[in-house]
Every structure is written in structure tokens, then in C-alpha cells.
Amino acid sequence: MQFGGGFIELAVLFLIFAVVAAVLGAKGIAGLSMQVAKWLIIIFVILAIISFVL
């Protein structure tokens, strides 16, 4: 059973969005996108560990 299905893809998407926003000068949006990407990666890692244990 795979718990963290779409989290890593969403994290990569938000990371790319943050980099593009930072290049274009939208620092507020870039910071928010980086926070979302960070939390999605944390959730993915936690769910991956749970799936390995179970």
C-alpha cells in the first residue's frame, strides 16, 4: 500500500513555482510556495516511513 502518492509531485510543482516566482521578483509568493513545498515533503517522508514500517 502506498500512502504518499501525490505529495512528492505536488512538492516538486510548488518548488518549481517558487523558483519561477523568485526569478520574476514575487518574493512573497515564492516564500509561500517554498513553505508549502517544505510541508509536502515532510508529509511525504512521514507517510513513506509509515508505509515501510507497515
Residues 42 and 23 sit within 8 Å (Cβ to Cβ): no
> What integer pLDDT is reported at residue 2 of this predicted model?
52
Indicate the pTM of the whole model: 0.69
Give, to the nearest 10 degrees, the angle between helix 7-24 and helix 27-53. 160
> Would you state the pLDDT for residue 25?
85
> Per-residue pLDDT tens for 1-52?
455 567 778 778 888 888 888 888 888 888 888 888 888 888 888 888 888 8
Neighbours of 53 (CB within 10 A): 6
Report the share of the chain in percent with pLDDT over 70.
91
Residue 8's alpha-carbon distances to 20, 24, 25, 26, 27, in angstroms, are 18, 24, 26, 24, 23
